[in-house]
Each structure stands twice: as C-alpha cells, then as structure tokens.
Amino acid sequence: MSRTYTTRRRVEFGDTDLAGIMHFANFFRFMESAETEFLRSLGLTVSWRDAGGRWGFPRVQAACEYFQPARFEDLLTITVTVEHVGQKSVRYRFDFSNEQGQTIAVGRITAVFCRAMGPDRLEAVEIPPEVRQRLQGDETPDLAHIPPVPDVP
C-alpha cells in the first residue's frame, strides 16, 4: 500500500529569479518541507534523539524533473507518495501541480535510516517495524515504542 500526503505552498518572491520563475533548487526545499510535514502527520520526524541515541533519515539521493515553470505567487500542490520502503531506506515521490491541476515537476528523494555513531559518522540500520508500519500506512501499527515528536515553538 502506498501512503500519500498532500500539502500546498505558495511560491514566494525570494524563491524566484529575475524573470519571476522559481529557481530549480527551491523545488528541493519544497520537497524537504513537504516530507517533514508528512512525517510530522505520522508522529515521526526526520531527525531525533532518544535514550538509544541520535536517529534520522539523511538523504542519499535526490532528483527532480521539470515540466513547466512555477512562478511568483503560484499556489503549488505537492503530493508526497511513499514509493518504496526497504530494509534501511525509504523512497518518496513528490508531484507538483499548479492551481489549474497541471503537472509542474516530479521529484524523488531516497533517505536511509541511520544512527549517529559520533559527530562525524552515521551507521545505516534497519528501519524499526513501528516506523515502517507508519510509513507504509498499515492499518493496525504498534506505535507504543515510537517517541512523540517534540513540539517546536
């Protein structure tokens, strides 16, 4: 089962170039923001610390294919789809559309579940079953062992 999440975000002046077109790199910022919102909606986050250490989902691959420009003040709909959950990684698809429902871009991010092994070293580890259940959209996940996402002011 593929889990999806939809959010909307307006293209701000600072996201654009001199022609009023959103700079290509800002699609990656929008993808990261949509991913963070999606994970938060599941009670998860991209990076956290608990009694077992520091955990997170750093990115190992990111790509975006552009079909038409997004412009200043466009309201974009971004649909996040969990395309694949592997033993240690998750791959997301991001579909961008404008207010007319036209496809603007399609992006993908692959992130690997890691434990920090010191200030400069990460170790890829298997995604815990409880996290996997949330990502996959299983109907009856056992969520008792996942720490709550801290409130951010």
Model confidence at 51, pLDDT cuts 50, 70, 90, reads confident
Report the CATH number at residue 129: 3.10.129.10
Q: How many angstroms separate the CA atoms of 1 and 81, rounded? A: 10
User: Whole-prediction pTM value?
Assistant: 0.86
Asked if the structure places residue 23 within a domain, the reply is: yes
The predicted pLDDT at position 50 comes to 83
Res. 1 pLDDT band, cuts 50 70 90: low
Residue 47 forms part of a structural domain: yes
Question: What average pLDDT does the segment 51-75 reach?
Answer: 94
Residue 56 belongs to a domain: yes
Please report whether residue 89 resides in a domain. Answer: yes
Residue 142: per-residue pLDDT: 47
Residue 24 lies in a domain: yes
The domain tally of the chain equals: 1
Determine the average pLDDT of the residues in 88-105.
Answer: 97
Residue 117 lies in a domain: yes
CA dist list (Å): 64 to 91, 127, 131 = 13, 25, 26
pLDDT in tens, 100-125: 999 999 999 999 999 988 778 899 99
The answer to whether residue 44 is domain-embedded is yes
Lowest-confidence range among 2-6, 30-34, 64-68, 70-74?
2-6
Q: Which domain holds residue 75?
A: 4-136
> Residue 72 falls within a domain, yes or no?
yes
DSSP state of 5: E
The reported pLDDT for the residue numbered 96 is 98
48, two tokens: 């956290």
140: pLDDT confidence band, cut at 50, 70 and 90?
Answer: very low
Predicted pLDDT of residue 153:
41
